[in-house]
Chains A and B, each alone.
Chain A
Amino acid sequence: MSRVRDFWNSNRRNPNAIAYAIFIIGAIFYPSIVQFLNGGNGDYLVGFAADGGIYILMAIGLNVVVGFAGLLDLGYAAFFAIGSYTYATVASYHLGVTPIGHALHLPFWIALLIGMFVAAAAGALLGAPTLRLRGDYLAIVTLGFGEIVPIVFRNGEVWTGGVPGISGLDVPSLPGWFVGPWIGQDFGWVPDFRFNTGNLTAYYVLMCFLIAITVVLVHNLYNSRLGRAWMAVREDETAAAASGVNTVTVKLLAFSIGAATSGFAGAFYGAKLSYVSSENFGFVVSVTVLAMVVLGGMGNIPGAMLGAAVLYFILFRLLPDAPAQLQSLASALGLDFLNKADPNGWPGIGEVVSRLKYVIFGLILVGIMLLRPQGLLPSQVRKQELKHAEHEALTAPRQLQG
C-alpha cells in the first residue's frame, strides 16, 4: 500500500505521468462514451479515432528525429509511402500482375515488419551520406526525397500500379480475437481473426496496442545510452564527439528509427485501407506531422501524442464540419451575405474556412516556436533550454578555438 502511495506522490506532479494516465483512461472509455452519446451508432467515431492513431504513431516517430536528435526531417511522408508500398508488394495480388507473375501473400505481421525495415533502410541510405554534412542540409535533402518518392511511385507503371495505385491488399489479421457483448455477441474467441470495416472497434483496440508498444519502446530508448547521446548531440556536437559519441551513427539511428516508425504506420495504413496510391503521401503529410510534434512539444513523447490528437481533431473533424456550421450560423445571425459567393471576390464563408488548412499549419509552426516553443506539453529539458534561450544572446558564440 505504501508503495502505491510512494508511486502516487512521486508522479502526481509529473505532467507526463498525468498525461499518460489520462491517455490510458481516455483510450479505454472512448468507445463506450461515443457509442453512448450517439445511441449505439458511434462506430464511425471509433474508426475516426483509429485512423488518428496512425498520425499519433507518426508523431511519436518524428519526435525521435526532431525532438530527441534535433534533426529536421521534411520528407517524413516518403517513408510512410515506402512502408505502404512495400506492404502492398509483399501482401497482395499485385506481384502477380507484374513481370514477376507470382503474387506474394506474406502473413500480416511479417509484411508489416518488412514494410518497417525497408523504410528504415531507405532512411539509412539517405541519411548516411547526408548526416556527415551540416544539420540543415538534411532538411533540404529529405524535402527533395519527399518530392521524388511519390512521383516515382506514380511513374512506376506496372511495378507500382501507376496512378491508380495498388488495391486489394491483405487486411490485418490476428491468430485470434475476443468478442463479447460490446459488439452484440456472446463472450467468445474467434480464431484466425480478420479485421474488416464492419468491426471498427477491433481496429481501434489494435491501434491502441500498437501505440502503447511504440510508446514503451521509444520511452526505453529515450532513457538509455542512446537517448542520452541524442540529447548530447542536440546540445553540443563537439562536446559529444569529444566524449566518445559517434555523432553520425547516433543521428543516423534517430533518423532511421523515425523512418521505421513512419514505415510501420504506412504499412498498417495500407493494410487497413487495403489500398495504396501515390496521392496520399505528399509534402502536406510531412508538414502535418511536423506541426503535430511542434504543437505538442518537441522532445516529449506524450506531448507529441497530444499534439497529434489535437491537430488531427482540428484538421479532420472541426475543419470539414466548420463550413456548414458557419454557414448556418451566419444565416441564423442574419448575415446571409457572408454565405454568398461573389464570382470575382468573396468566395463565401464556408469556402474560406475550408481553405484554412495551410494557415493553421503556418500559425502553429510560427506561433508555437515564437510564443511557446516547449509546446502544449513540454519536456523538462526543453522547458529549461528555451527559458534561457534569451540569455544566450548575451554570451558570445562558443566555438573551437584555432
Chain B
Amino acid sequence: MATAVQRLRGTFLPLSFNSGLNVIGILVVLVALFASTQRVIEGGGTYFFQTLGFGLAQGAIFALVALGYTMVYGIIELINFAHGDVFTLGAFFSLAIITSPLGALIGLTPSSSGAGVILPLLGLFVVTMLFCALVNIAIERVAYRPLRHAPRLAPLITAIGMSALLEGIMNVWKGPYNLAYPDFLPENQIPLGGGATIAAKSVFVIVIAVVLMVVLTLFINRSKLGKAMRATAQDRDAAQLMGIDINRTISATFFIGAALAGAGGIIYGLYYNSVQAFDGFQYGLYAFTAAVFGGIGNIPGAAIGGFVIGIVFAMSDGYFTTKWTIPLIFAILIFVLVFRPTGLLGMRVPEK
C-alpha cells in the first residue's frame, strides 16, 4: 500500500507541476490575446489587415529560412549557425548581380520596374539559389563533414565560426552599412473589401514562398532523393545499410536548405529594400525560433512556425512596442525549448 501511494505520488507530482506551468502558460496567452484584441479593435480593420499582411510576408521569409535549419537538424542533428548568413549572402549576391553590368545584360538595373522584370527576376532567383546552395555544400564539406565523428561540440563551434566567417567576408566586401536594394515590386494596395487592403508586395512574397514550399514538400514526399533524406533523418545507420549514399543525401539537404535561404535573401531584399552584412545572424535566429516553435526536424512545422513568428512579430510591432519585440521572440524561443522542446508539431523525442 505504502509503495502504491509512493508510486502514485511519483507520477502525479511532476504532472501537477507541469500542468501548473501549463495553466500559467495558458493564462499568459489569454491575457496577451485579450490585450491584443482590445488594441486590434481600437486600431480598426484596415490597420489590422495591413499588419497581418506584413506579418504573413515576414513570416513567409522566416519560413523559407527555417526550413533549412530544420532539414539540416533533422538529418545530422546540427544547428547550422551559418544558415542565417547564407540567407544574407543570397541578398548580397543578387544585389551584386543587379548592380553589375551582368544585371544590365539580363535586363535588371536598380531602376528597372514594371512587368518587364518578371523574367529576369526569375533568372536572378535561379542563379542566386544555385550560388547559395553551392556555398552551403562547400561549408558542409569543409567545416562539418570532417567532424562528423568528432565530439558533438566540434561541429557546433565550426558552425559558429562559419557564420562569423561569412559575416566577415560580406563585411569586408561591402562594409557594415545598410545597402539599398532595388525596389522592383509594385507599391499598390490590393483591396480585400470593406476598406481592408493588403500590399501587393506582401502577396508577392507570400506566393513565392508558398510555391517554393509546395515544391519542396512534393520533392521530399515523391522523389527518390527525398525518400533517402527522410530515411537518413530517421536512422542513418539503417539507411546506409539499405544502400543510401549518406554523403550525397546530406549534401542534397544542405543544397535545398540553402537554395530556399537564397530565395529568402532576394525576397528579403525586395521586400525591405535594404540589407546589411550582419542582418543574417539575428534574422537566422528568428527563423530558428520558428523552426523550434514548429518542432525542430519537422518540415511542415517549420513552415507554420515561420508564419506564426512572423505574425507575432508584426502584431507586437504594430500594436505594442517595437522595443520589446526582439526580447519577446527570444523569450518564445527559450520557453518553447524549455517547456515543449518537441515544438508544437514536433514528434522527435529529445534524448537526454
Contact = CB atoms under 8 A, between A and B. Distances in A.
A and B touch in the complex (CB under 8 A): yes
A370 B158 contact: yes
B164 A294 contact: no
Interface residues of B, number: 53
B106 interface: no
A140 B333 contact: yes
Interface string B312-343: 00000000000110110011011001110100
Interface in A134-185: 134-137, 139-141, 143-145, 147-148, 151-152, 155
Given A133-B341, A134-B352, A145-B330, A369 B147 contact: yes
Contacts of A145: 330, 334
Contacts of A135: 152-153
Chain A interface size, as a band, is 35 or more
A76 to B, nearest CB: 12
A149 B64 CA distance: 28
A362 B166 CA distance: 8
Smallest CB-CB A-B distances: 9 pairs: A362-B165, A365-B161, A358-B168, A359-B168, A366-B161, A144-B330, A362-B164, A361-B164, A129-B338
A136 B80 CA distance: 11
A202 interface: no
17 contacts: A70-B153, A71-B153, A143-B285, A147-B282, A151-B324, A234-B151, A237-B352, A352-B172, A355-B176, A357-B168, A359-B171, A362-B167, A362-B168, A367-B161, A370-B142, A370-B158, A393-B148
A389 interface: yes
Contacts of A283: 281
B234 to A, nearest CB: 15
B162 interface: yes
Given A134-B351, A139-B156, A359 B165 contact: yes
A72 to B, nearest CB: 5
A373 B152 CA distance: 13
A359 B282 contact: no
Interface of B is mostly: helix
B327 to A, nearest CB: 5
A151 B166 CA distance: 25
A151 B285 CA distance: 15
A290 B159 CA distance: 13
A402 to B, nearest CB: 13
Interface of B: 77-79, 142-143, 146-154, 156-158, 160-169, 171-172, 175-176, 237, 281-282, 285, 288-289, 292, 323-324, 326-327, 330-331, 333-334, 337-339, 341, 350-352
B164 A358 contact: yes
A390 interface: yes
Given A66-B153, A148-B331, A370-B143, 4 more contacts: A140-B79, A145-B330, A148-B330, A390-B149
A278 to B, nearest CB: 12
B156 A356 contact: no
A74 B152 contact: no
A359 B79 contact: no
A130 B156 CA distance: 17
B158 A369 contact: yes
B172 A141 contact: no
Nearest to B153: A70
A392 interface: yes
Contacts of B337: 130, 133, 137, 140-141
A72 B157 contact: yes
A295 to B, nearest CB: 11
Contact of A134 (B163, B289, B350): B350
A242 interface: no
A136 B282 contact: no
Nearest to A392: B149
A89 B175 CA distance: 37
